[in-house]
Amino acid sequence: MVETAELIDNDFLRQFELKVDNELATIEYSLQERKIFLTKLVIPSNINDAEFKKDFLEIVFEQIRERNLSMVPTSPEIAKFVRSNRKYKRMLPVGVRI
């Protein structure tokens, strides 16, 4: 499902967007210096696939890594995902623990 969709970084609305089945999944963010604060995860209610959230977050994290930014997940759902996936903890800024 996610493999065929294109991730869009909407600078104007400050959110990552992924359109799937005519529905829009988003991760809102705030960019400050070299840190990106991930503030809100919105997945349409008709997408019940547990793998979708995982794949969506991994695609966004990869784009953040490519841009050489540190991330601070302030959304509880995103923070929970980072806690359970150690490889993404390296992307946290120095001194930030979740």
Per-residue pLDDT tens over the stretch 16-72: 999 888 889 999 999 998 999 999 999 998 887 778 999 999 999 999 999 999 999
User: Which CA distances in Å does 57 have to 12, 19, 95?
Assistant: 20, 14, 22
Of 47, 93, 51, 56, residue with least CA distance to 78: 56
Element containing residue 2 per DSSP (H, E): none
Q: What pLDDT, on the 0 to 100 scale, is given for residue 1?
A: 58
pTM: 0.89
| Total Cβ atoms within 10 A of residue 87 | 9
Domain boundaries, the chain: 7-91
Correct CATH for 7-91 of 3.40.50.1110, 3.40.50.300, 3.40.1190.20, 3.40.630.30: 3.40.630.30
Q: What pLDDT, on the 0 to 100 scale, is given for residue 71?
A: 96
Q: What pLDDT, on the 0 to 100 scale, is given for residue 30?
A: 96
Q: What pLDDT, on the 0 to 100 scale, is given for residue 3?
A: 62
H helix and E strand count, the chain? 2, 5
Q: Report yes or no: 35 and 69 within 8 Å, Cβ to Cβ.
A: yes
